[in-house]
A and B are shown apart, each in its own frame.
Chain A
Amino acid sequence: MKLDEAFRNYREKIVDRWVEYTLSTYKSSSFFIKEKDKFANPVGGNTREALDALFGLLAKNADPQEFVAPLEQIMRIRAIQEFAASVAVGPIHAVKHITREILSKDKERCHLVQELYDFEFAVDLAVLAAFDLYMQCRERLYQVRIKEIKTGNYILTDSKCPTNLLKINIQESLKTVENH
């Protein structure tokens, strides 16, 4: 029995456990796990889609560059939810433990656990990439905030009337001129 065949046979089971574990990090996880419609359940749907795609790539030892698309799909969501960085990224790791556990319970395939080095190394690379993507998302979030402030939507609240602001600006620049 070969490892790639075991991955094929167990793909659904491993991915199901992985998705369930990832979604269990949410306070009310049962709906996220149960509802399969991606539009009625964006967190669950995207998590399922992304982890399934990622597993396929990990199992076939794909180019790590290919991990980016599915990882981004999931990290973009987790980066803006109330997770510590480690908890946001942590579930990517879980597939190592889940795969080991599932294979070791199968008497015919338990010997394959010894051959998981490449797979687990690929998972390590995915976890590292997930950290980078997490940070990219956080940075993008701050950029969005800065852009919103710059485009003037903040004027809705944080200012007095613009004419008045103009007066203040003129007074301030006068002061600067005086100081020189």
Chain B
Amino acid sequence: MAVPKLEQLSKSVVQGPSLATGAVPTKDWMDIPAIFKPGNYAYQAKQEKVAYLNSQPGLSFPNAREWSPEDDDWKLPEGWKDIILKGLKERLDKFRSLKIFMDCCVRCGACADKCHFFLGTGDPKNMPVLRAELLRSVYRNDFTIGGKILGKMAGAREMTVGVLKEWFMYSYQCTECRRCSVFCPYGIDTAEVTMMLRELLHLVGVGINWILEPASNSNRTGNHMGLQPHTFKDNVDFLADDVENLTGIKINTSFNRKGAEVLFITPSADVFAEPGLYTAMGYLLLFEHIGLDYTWSTYASEGGNFGLFTNNELMKKLNGKMYAEAKRLGVKYIIGGECGHMWRVVHQYMDTMNGPADFLEVPKSSVTGTTFNNAASTKMVHISEFTADLIRHGKLKLDKSRNAHVKATFHDSCNPARAMGLMDEPRYILDHVVDNWVEMPENTIREQTFCCGSGTGLNTDEIMELRMRAGLPRANAVKHVIDKHDVNTLSCVCAIDRATLTSLMDYWNPGCKVCGVSELVGNALVMDGENRQELDEGLRTLV
């Protein structure tokens, strides 16, 4: 009696079958179509943004049009299938890594349960191995003998509109965080498979607005926000005024100054949106503290590179802009702020795209004399490396008690951790600026860190539920340290994290604040000649 009753209980009487997920799939994965409905996809790119990008030299974003993922007809260009297959062939020839990734996967499943999207949704197509199979199946069908002869038996399938829609669905349910690749015995970088899927989709005009609009803004004004030079300068000056009100220290800022020793580049969100603002105030105090000869640029006013989420041509162009500006200003080297994917681009792709940056000098700290040989080719130092080195040489006056209101934990932002190995520097800084900080469980930090769930341009509000699902593994680990150690602050070194973890905490762990490590540094700095107010909440204190 009871068993049939239970089966009834698992189905909704009111809703249609598409909403009631109801247990184990009964069909082969290839036979389950991707269905788009409000809330499960990010909005398509606006026609004018695609047209603008397509009009730019060196870029190709064809088929600008009005369309919607919910429509049956996506208004694909004539011959779209040939365009995709030709695009795939070109990429297989051009990127040896892609060819290897397509061929060498043995489907061992080591990656399957490592993806935060899979862990939050339970959708098998979010297993990295299966997400890659979405492309691999087409590769087999058209580019391998086995697939051509055996077809579906060899896991091959023809490229159809349904397959294309599935690519769109699942390449935008991947944040390219690369946690899966940590566990792959063959070292397959599934993020690069996602990157290829997105590149191929752009060939036929399928992309999302939350990526293409910031990318076109970056191309036009130098930053995601589309801030023009005077606005960017005003925002930084406002922050300098705030610092002066709080600490009595007059901050000297300079913009586009030729001959400065250092060019400082950070995500534009740091100078425009909470809580990144406080991180930017931390940078200002730090540089003032050591009297660094540096300049901001109102042209290279963005660290984040949304080209990484579109195609390699745009990534190269946006990255090139930072170096062109460094060359124009004649600086010796670049310091980069707390950003995520900027560092992946700089550390992993910049050298073959725009490097080596021989017109710059190998970064050498004028305060400590340390040469950053790890940045010998890119000439770009991470703010955490730079700060940790200052602390190590005793160059900063720090008072931990100024962070007494903080009980912190540290979230390893995916790209700095996994793409450049920056794991110990932020921890070293935390050791010196806060009394209280604790680690989250071992399988959720360092190389194994869980993504915020909204990276790679998925930080858009129309997919809030999807973001909350994808961020569950991270939020779950944060909850553990909140329950166990009364943690009240989640620190990180990435601008997208600062924006997205804030929403993630508001849903999963209300009351837990999110901050950049440099904000905590700014809080703790003891400045010469300061006239500091009672700052119960550090730089966030309202006075």
Contact = CB atoms under 8 A, between A and B. Distances in A.
B444 A39 contact: yes
Interface string B1-43: 1110110011111110001111111000000000000001000
Given A40-B443, A157-B209, A81 B503 contact: no
Nearest to B40: A82
Interface residues of A, number: 59
A98 B15 CA distance: 25
A149 B502 CA distance: 12
A32 B124 CA distance: 12
A176 interface: no
A87 B503 contact: no
Interface string A141-180: 1011101110111111111111100000000000000000
A117 interface: no
A27 interface: yes
A86 B120 contact: no
B20 A87 contact: yes
A94 B6 contact: yes
Contacts of B370: none
B124 A28 contact: yes
A contact patch SS:
helix
A11 interface: no
Contacts of A82: 19, 21, 40, 121
A5 interface: no
A93 B9 contact: yes
Instruction: Give chain B's interface residue range (CB within 8 Å of chain A).
Output: 35 or more
Interface in B461-504: 461, 464-465, 468-469, 472-473, 476-477, 480, 499, 502-503
Nearest to A76: B508
A81 B210 contact: no
Contact of A42 (B127, B226, B473, B510): B473
Contacts of A81: 120-122, 465, 469
B273 interface: yes
Nearest to A24: B23
B112 interface: yes
B113 A100 contact: no
A148 B503 contact: yes
B121 A97 contact: no
Interface string A16-43: 0000010011111101100101111111
A155 B272 contact: yes
B242 interface: no
B223 to A, nearest CB: 10
Most buried by A among B460, B461, B469: B461
Contact of B113 (A25, A35, A152, A158): A35
Contacts of B123: 27-28
A31 B112 contact: yes
A121 interface: no
Interface string B225-251: 111101100000000000000000000
A90 B23 CA distance: 13
Contacts of A29: 23-24, 122
B219 to A, nearest CB: 13
Nearest to B3: A101
Nearest to A90: B9
A94 B231 CA distance: 59
B6 A21 contact: yes
B441 interface: yes
Contact of B476 (A35, A38, A93, A160): A38
A82 B117 CA distance: 13
B186 interface: no
B227 A156 contact: no
Interface of A: 21, 24-29, 31-32, 35, 37-43, 45-46, 76-77, 80-87, 90-91, 93-94, 97-98, 100-101, 137, 140-141, 143-145, 147-149, 151-163
26 contacts: A24-B23, A25-B21, A26-B21, A28-B24, A28-B25, A28-B123, A29-B122, A39-B441, A42-B119, A42-B473, A43-B122, A81-B120, A81-B469, A84-B20, A87-B12, A87-B20, A97-B6, A147-B506, A148-B461, A149-B461, A155-B225, A156-B214, A157-B210, A161-B227, A162-B225, A162-B227
Given A27-B123, A151-B274, A155-B273, 16 more contacts: A28-B24, A35-B113, A42-B476, A43-B472, A77-B472, A82-B19, A82-B21, A84-B12, A87-B20, A90-B9, A144-B464, A144-B468, A145-B461, A148-B502, A155-B272, A156-B225
A-B complex: 9 closest residue pairs judged by Cβ atoms? A26-B122, A84-B12, A101-B2, A84-B15, A42-B476, A161-B226, A97-B2, A80-B468, A28-B124
